Homo-oligomer: A and B are copies of this chain.
Amino acid sequence: MFAKHTGHPDQISDITPHPCETWPDNGRGFRETLDRIGDKWSVLVIGILSQGPLRFGILHQRVPGVSQRMLTLTLRHLERDGIVSRTVYAEVPPRVEYQLTPLGESLRETVRALAQWVTDHNDEIEDSRRNYDTR
């Protein structure tokens, strides 16, 4: 599917010391999983759920700009991947709560680190953009 490199000799410009340190393997699954984590809403949802379980409505309010449809889809995907669990309470009106699974918990720190980085460097990046745009 990929790695169909044209077969020329690796004329690596010897800049990097460790040639083995390339990407994990280019496996199909790797890409797929990365896409899931990297999609438009997952990180936000995981970040918010890392504070505790929440029901659908609250989640909807807390993720700025997400539509009902996309929140539902995102949650289904995360559920499918075993990152989030869904609990339906037999009440009326219906209540559904979402929370991180242990697998999801293990993503917590990473996601928060990412969010932290974005928060910390946001200004810097916006400056860079303005600079780049006006030249």
CB-based contact A35/B40 at 8 Å: yes
- The residues of B that contact A82 with a CB separation of less than 8 Å are 124-125, 127-129, 131-132
Q: How far is the CA of A35 from the CA of B64 in the complex (A)?
A: 14
Q: Are A22 and B118 in touch, CB under 8 angstroms? A: no
Give A118-135 as 1s and 0s: 1 = Cβ < 8 Å from B's Cβ atoms.
110111111111011100
- In the bound complex, how far is the Cα of B81 from the Cα of A122, in angstroms? 10
Contact with B along A61-89 (1 / 0, CB 8 A): 11111000000000000011111000000
A sample of 7 cross-chain residue pairs with beta-carbon separation below 8 angstroms, ordered by A number, consists of: A3-B65, A13-B54, A16-B51, A16-B58, A24-B118, A79-B132, A81-B125
